[in-house]
Amino acid sequence: MSNALRALFEFLFKYRPLVFAKGELALGAPWPVLAIVVLGAAAIAPAVLSYRRSQGKTTPRDRMVLRALRVAALAVLVLCLARPILLLSEAVPRRNYVGLLLDDSRSMRIGDRGDRRRADFVRDSMLGDRGSVIASLRRRFQVRTFAFGGETHVLESSDTLAFAQRESRLTDAMEQARQSLDAVPLSALVVVSDGADNTRAPLADELVALRGKEIPVFTVGVGAERFGRDVEISRVDAAREVLAGSALAVDISVRQTGFRGATLPLLVEDERRVIAHGEVSFTRDGDAQQVRVGVPLTQPGLHVLTVRVAPQPHEQVAENNAQPLLVRVRGGREKILYVEGEPRYELRFVRAAVDADSNVQLVTLLRTADQKFLRLSVDDGNELAAGFPVSRAELFKYRAVVLGSVEASFFTRDQLQMLADFAAVRGGGVLFLGGRRAFGEGGYAGTPLADAMPVVIEGTALPDSLTFLADLRATLTPAGLSHSATQLGDAAAPAERWRALPAVTTVNRIRRLKPGAVTLVSGATPPDGRAGAPGETVRGYVQPILAYQRYGRGFTAALPIQDSWTWKMDASIAVDDRMFETFWRQLLRWISSESPGRVQAELAPDQVNKGRAVEVHAVVTDSNYQRLNDAPVVAHVEAPSGAVRDVPMEWVVDRDGEYRGAFTPDELGAHTVRVEAHAGTALRAADTVVVRVADLDDEFVGAEMRGDLLRRIADETGGRFYTPATVGRLADDIALTKRGVTVVNRLDLWDMPAVFLLLIGLLGAEWTYRKARRLA
């Protein structure tokens, strides 16, 4: 309701709409209601009878209209004699408490109210010496004031408000204020904030508690709900751990207002050094654009990357133009199992591509003849001595599996199921290569691996003479443009680089993908190419060259071509071109990058402000990657100073294999958390994660006033939402909450201007009607 309508309502009906909403209607006449009814009937009856007897010049319609107007006027008079009143419970002055919560965080320094900051409203309008909101509250209530941000404390003096806290834990603040005032008659809580809330606990839980206690929360929103001009990096997502030499795919969400049609550069920095860049274009105001940038990481260790957009002219908030990203680059070698069913060039060139890579160990099992195998890059003479692994423990020690041109009948049913479980249960990556004994041509339809593959396997195995053959030229899809597996070194324009590659061939007819699969590289037959089985020609043939899907804890990928080595040996490829080597090194890193160990530890969050609690989560499994319950698990936390403390991890009894613990770091810098699972006194397995403690600017992400959140808090607790323009009614509204010590007031309604105007209107209408009809 606008201010003008509100003023008009109050003029006509004496009281504000909220008074009618909170009050109860009653009659205040000293005599019984029956006597009033009888008196009304006695007054109305003569008027009705007089018009029935009076004929004269009047028509039946005239008499009906005049009778109705006269009866309505008399009814209004009778109602006034009954003295209608409003029974209103109102807080007894100075007998009840109000908790006033003031946002003391850094976002309150934002100047989005002309030349005034949000903090200026709190100091001047809320806490000023004269005419302030707190002064009106103190005339009616005992007021206890709290300042909140990352911590909540009682505010003894407004001079201590610094608006310097780096978090706004709004939910925690309401909970602490409610508990602090639990022993006194509490009328309401008042929250003065821009609505920022960095609390990880669900807001709904606290609102349920407030409703259960019947404590209304009145919220005062400070700041603009929409900035006029601002760019914000609202979210940055990437793997928290990668193998050295990998290209990290960083997904960035950029939100803006006032920059429609602009294209801005995105920078990724490592220790103030730019290591990757991209750009973001905005088509409409208020849109959030998603951008993926590939970031090369070669040096092992902890890297604090910064994703940044340079501050723009006249931007209202510059602190939200950058977001930190914590990435741990691990050294060592990833052990990958490559199973090949026949000697072929693909195997030779793939092994040559990664032979000099110190971070990839490509253990190979090559079938050279029936029941004869060649083992390459094994650790000792016992590894793969009996052929393909027959136990889960033996297979699951690898980080990824590559299946070449090998038919399904080479494996037992249990081995096929183990391969599917390698992705679904162990969480590893499985890559399926093309070949005459692969996919549908290899008889995989109807096997457990058919369910795991990202492509649909149809048909039965085909003899070599009927094998399908197609030429394919590669094209990057939008999803593959910045994917880590498709980054070709220093190529400035990866899409053009892929299109320039020579055509490859496939003997595997892939008709469609699974619903959840994603194509990274698509292939199409060039105009002078071929596609089809012998005697068949397929025009415009298209199929994926590289696709993947999530499968259980891990994922599977398909590369259904038989000669990717053409990208190395074709006459159009320069001798010193390293594209083929780069592609295969990135591909093998990708399929092994997400494979967890037997202990998988995570931190929530992995970057915090000093003094903020960190939750440690861990999943513990045995050698078969079956989840272990009630195992001895402990987290060793090493601070930057070298101090070490042990954090016990408790089993989450309703979740198999999951353990939780928490600690509060008290030093700035990187804290190393090593989670160990034991079997008796022996170490079973371990995982290491890192949390960074720093002065973060999360407070400025989503820094516009969150009116929806504040309105929800008020609506769900029975309070009201205000802006600086409407907050003057706050004290009067809280007095009507019926909370604490109250008194019932009787407010007369019979003398409302609306009643007088209604009576004058009815009598005037009767007189006007008579004049118009010449009946007077």
What's the fold here for domain 93-223+704-740?
A: Rossmann fold (3.40.50)
Q: State which amino acid sits at residue 291.
A: V
Where would I find the H helices in 613-701? none
Mean pLDDT along residues 156-176: 88
One-letter amino acid identity for 638? E
Instruction: Read off the amino acid at residue 125.
Output: S
| DSSP E strand boundaries for 694-765 | 721-722, 742-748
Q: Is 324 helix (H, G, I), strand (E, B) or coil?
A: strand
pLDDT digits (tens, 9 = 90+) for 127-142: 876 557 888 999 889 9
Q: Quick one: which of 316, 306, 328 has its CA closest to 233? A: 306
pLDDT category at 4 given cuts 50, 70, 90 is confident
Cβ atoms 554, 428 nearer than 8 A: yes
Q: What is the mean pLDDT of residues 110-134?
A: 81
Closest CA to 278 of 494, 496, 518, 590: 494
Q: Cβ contacts of residue 530 below 8 Å, gap of 6+? A: 469, 470, 471, 537
Give φ, ψ of 136 to 5 degrees.
Answer: -70, -35
Burial level of 426, CB count in 10 A (0-12/13-18/19+)? buried
pLDDT band for 461, please (50, 70, 90 cuts).
low
Local confidence band at 160 (pLDDT 50, 70, 90 cut-offs)? confident
Q: Is 90 exceeded by the pLDDT of residue 519?
A: yes
Query: pLDDT tens digits for 187-221?
Result: 999 999 999 887 766 788 878 888 888 899 999 99
Q: Is the pLDDT of residue 553 over 60?
A: yes
- Residues 451-476 have a mean pLDDT of 82
pLDDT digits (tens, 9 = 90+) for 230-242: 999 999 998 888 8
pLDDT at 77: 83
Q: What is the C-alpha separation between 770 and 773, in angstroms, rounded?
A: 5
pLDDT at 693: 94
The tens digit of pLDDT for each residue in 43-72 reads 667 766 666 655 556 777 877 887 788 888
What average pLDDT does this structure show over 321-336? 91
Domain 93-223+704-740 identical in fold to domain 599-693: no
Q: What is the pLDDT of residues 267-309, one digit of tens each?
A: 999 988 999 888 899 888 888 888 888 888 889 999 999 999 9
Mean pLDDT of 710-717: 93
Instruction: Give the 3-state secondary structure of residue 535.
Output: coil
Identify whether the C-beta of residue 171 lies closer than 8 Å to the C-beta of residue 197.
yes
Residue 464 has what pLDDT? 60
pLDDT at residue number 473: 94
Q: In whole angstroms, what is the distance from residue 362 CA to residue 375 CA?
A: 11
pLDDT in tens, 195-204: 988 776 678 8
Q: Which amino acid is at 465?
A: S
Q: Which amino acid is at 198?
A: N
Architecture of domain 334-593: 3-Layer(aba) Sandwich (3.40)
Q: What is the pLDDT of residue 50?
A: 66
CA 706/CA 709 separation, integer angstroms: 6
Region 246-251: mean pLDDT is: 86
- Give the CATH fold of the 230-321 domain: Immunoglobulin-like (2.60.40)
Phi, psi of 346 (to 5 degrees): -55, -45
Query: What is the C-alpha to C-alpha distance for residues 279 and 281, in angstroms, rounded to an integer?
Result: 7
Cβ atoms of 309 and 293 within 8 Å: the answer is: no
- Percent of the chain past pLDDT 70, that is, above it, reads 94
What is the CB neighbour count within 10 angstroms for residue 281? Answer: 13
**Using N-to-C axis directions, what is the helix angle for 203-212 and 707-717, rounded to 10°?**
30
For the domain with range 599-693, which CATH number is right: 3.40.50.300, 2.80.10.50, 3.90.1150.110, 2.60.40.10? 2.60.40.10
What SS3 class is residue 141? coil
What's the mean pLDDT in 248-262? 90
pLDDT digits (tens, 9 = 90+) for 348-385: 999 999 998 888 999 999 999 988 999 999 999 999 99
- pLDDT for 1 equals 60
Minimum mean pLDDT range among 101-115, 463-477, 617-631? 463-477
Distances (CA, A) of 33 to 79, 369, 755: 11, 108, 20
Residue 531 has pLDDT above 90, yes or no: no
Tokens of 335: 């052990």
Mean pLDDT within 379-408: 94
Statement: residue 451 has pLDDT above 80: yes
Which residue type sits at 356? A
Site of tokens 């399908």 = 468
Amino acid identity, position 379: D
pLDDT band at 494 (very low <50, low <70, confident <90, very high): confident
Question: N- to C-terminal Cα distance for the chain?
Answer: 44
- Model confidence at 257: pLDDT above 80: yes
Q: Write down the pLDDT at residue 67.
A: 79
pTM to 2 decimals?
0.76
pLDDT above 80 for 151: yes
- Nearest CA to 103 out of 84, 92, 117, 88 is that of 117
> What pLDDT is recorded for position 33?
67
pLDDT over 70 at 484, yes or no: yes
Per-residue pLDDT tens over the stretch 465-480: 567 888 999 999 988 9
| Average pLDDT in the chain | 88
User: What amino acid is encoded at 310 in this protein?
Assistant: A
What is residue 739's predicted lDDT score, i.e. its pLDDT?
Answer: 76
Which range, of 173-182, 486-495, 624-633, 748-757, averages the lowest pLDDT? 486-495
Alpha helix stretches (DSSP H) within 563-703: 566-569, 579-593
What digits encode the pLDDT tens for the residues 580-607? 999 999 999 999 988 999 999 999 888 9
- Token pair for 206: 């606290």
User: Which residue type occupies 199?
Assistant: T
- Ordered by start, the domain boundaries in the chain are 3-89+745-772, 93-223+704-740, 230-321, 334-593, 599-693
